[in-house]
Amino acid sequence: MEIKKTSLNKLHQDNKAKFVEFAGYEMPIQYSLGIIEEHKFTRSNSGIFDVSHMGQLFIYGDGNLTDDLEKIFPLDLKNLKLNSSKYTFLMNDKAGVYDDLIITKLDEGYLIILNAACKDNDFKILAGLLKEKYKMVLNDQRSLIAIQGPKSVDILNQILETVEDLNFMSGNWFTYKNQKLYVTRSGYTGEDGFEVSISNELAEVFTKELLEKGAKLIGLGARDTLRLEAGLCLYGHELSTETTPIEASLKWAISKERLNNGGFIGSDKIISQIKDGAKKIRVAIKPEGRLIAREKTKIYNESDEMIGEVTSGTFGPSVNGPIAMGFVDKNFSKKETRIFLEVRGKRYPANICGLPFYKKSYVKGANK
């Protein structure tokens, strides 16, 4: 199959991107700055991420659609305000996760942002569950551009006036060159920031304007180190059909209102795991020294018993040291539990620690 390119591909090339294939797309892993400097720039200034490979699913419908989506997602969508977003999961009957996603309530229905590698399968599953009662558009005519970091609000507000009034996890329509953009205040870096859904034809000129105002393009490499420092899950690593949201320590994302009566896909399993506890649980891991424990590294306790596996591990540029997340036996999941990581045949000491590794600075309310 031919590799797909986003509307910003030429701009990436012009900015000396190194490319990798990701979920069938040619995506920039880094630019000439390099992952560490790109990461630090995002934390101190403003980074632009092309995430156009992600799915933008628009589902059009009224109150019936809300009822039907509540049979799927563990959310209180009836009480979700217009233009508000929630993080949630598309699950199977056993609460295994097909995808993690952000759903936003729009005037005419819902916008769901899906992972690139999952979006086609998600569409099939949702179309089946909704029995083709509603118009569903997995819109590949729109690009998705994330702007992340403390200076993003000032930069974006110069282009889209009043964007600074958006609250965290909410969105709105804005007009840019006579076209409608949908902007949410959200992100995947642990920083304040925005995600902009924009027509493919305007994506490049919009991004160039951000660059002129001082933001820099940041690759997927830094996106990964930023999200890992922020303690955020990556589908295919911390989440899969073999893992439930409870095991992944994401109970906070399940609406409390839905836990009494269930009625969403996977609710039996979720409710029983909350009651009885999960056997394995996602934890943060801080290796001692500089050693990096990558995905699939085996985790042992002090009695030499294998208790789990690393799901993501890297060097955290802002933490200035190695960091990892993984799943361990619940009995060894307490903070400050000493564990051992087996890397290249040797075992190295590490400790379970709290999340996030790097403290967030999300804006809760509007600035003014």
Partner 1 sequence: MSEVKYSKEHEWIKVEGDVGTIGITKHATEMLGDIVFVELPDVGSSVEKDGNAGVVESTKAASDVYTPISGDVLENNQAIVDDPGKINSDPENDAWFFKLKIKDISELDSLMNKEDYDKFAKESGN
- Hey, how many other C-beta atoms are within 10 angstroms of the C-beta on 366? 13
Q: What is the rounded distance in angstroms from the CA atom of residue 55 to the CA atom of residue 33?
A: 28
Nearest approach, Cβ of 221 to partner 1 (angstroms)?
6
What is the closest distance, in whole angstroms, from the C-beta atom of residue 292 to partner 1 in the complex? 5
Residue 252 is classified by DSSP as G
C-alpha closest to that of 343 among 355, 318, 326: 326
Tell me the closest approach of the beta carbon of residue 26 to partner 1, in angstroms: 17
Tokens of 122: 């998600």
266 versus 317: smaller Cβ distance to partner 1: 317
| Shortest CB 225 distance to partner 1, Å | 6
Which is closer to partner 1, CB of 36 or CB of 211?
36
Of the two residues 24 and 34, which places its CB atom closer to partner 1 in the complex? 34
Q: How far apart are CA 190 and CA 149, in angstroms?
A: 8
Output 47 or 266, the one with its CB closest to partner 1: 47
Q: 36 or 353, CB closer to partner 1?
A: 36
Which among 176, 189, 167, 328 is positioned nearest to 247, based on CA atoms?
A: 328
Q: Estimate to the nearest angstrom the gap between the alpha carbon of 166 and the chain centroid.
A: 19
**Maximal C-alpha separation, the chain:** 65
Cα angle value 176/182/186 (rounded, 5°): 120
Smallest gap from Cβ 229 to partner 1, in A, equals: 12
- Our CB check for partner 1 shows the closer of 69 and 226 to be 226
Q: Which residue lies nearer to partner 1 by CB, 246 or 291?
A: 291
For residue 275, the surrounding DSSP H or E stretch is helix 267-276
Find the shortest distance in angstroms from Cβ 163 to partner 1: 31
Give the separation between CA 54 and CA 44, rounded to whole angstroms: 26
Amino acid in position 16: K
Nearer to partner 1, 30 or 184 (CB): 30
Q: How far is the CB of 99 from partner 1 (least distance, A)?
A: 25
The C-alpha angle with vertex 40 and arms to 36 and 42, in degrees rounded to 5, equals: 120
Is 76 within 8 Å of 262 (Cβ atoms)?
no
Amino acid at 167: N
For partner 1, the binding residues (CB under 8 A) are 29-30, 34-36, 221, 225, 290-292, 294, 314-315, 317, 322, 344
In whole angstroms, what separates CA 350 from the centre of its chain?
A: 26
Q: Whole-angstrom Cα distance, residue 101 to residue 85?
A: 10
Q: How far is the CB of 34 from partner 1 (least distance, A)?
A: 5
Read off φ and ψ for residue 102, nearest 5 degrees. Answer: -115, 125
To partner 1, the closest distance from the beta carbon of 39 in angstroms equals: 8
If the CB atoms of residues 133 and 296 are measured against partner 1, the closer one turns out to be: 296
CB 116 within 8 A of CB 23: yes
DSSP 279: S
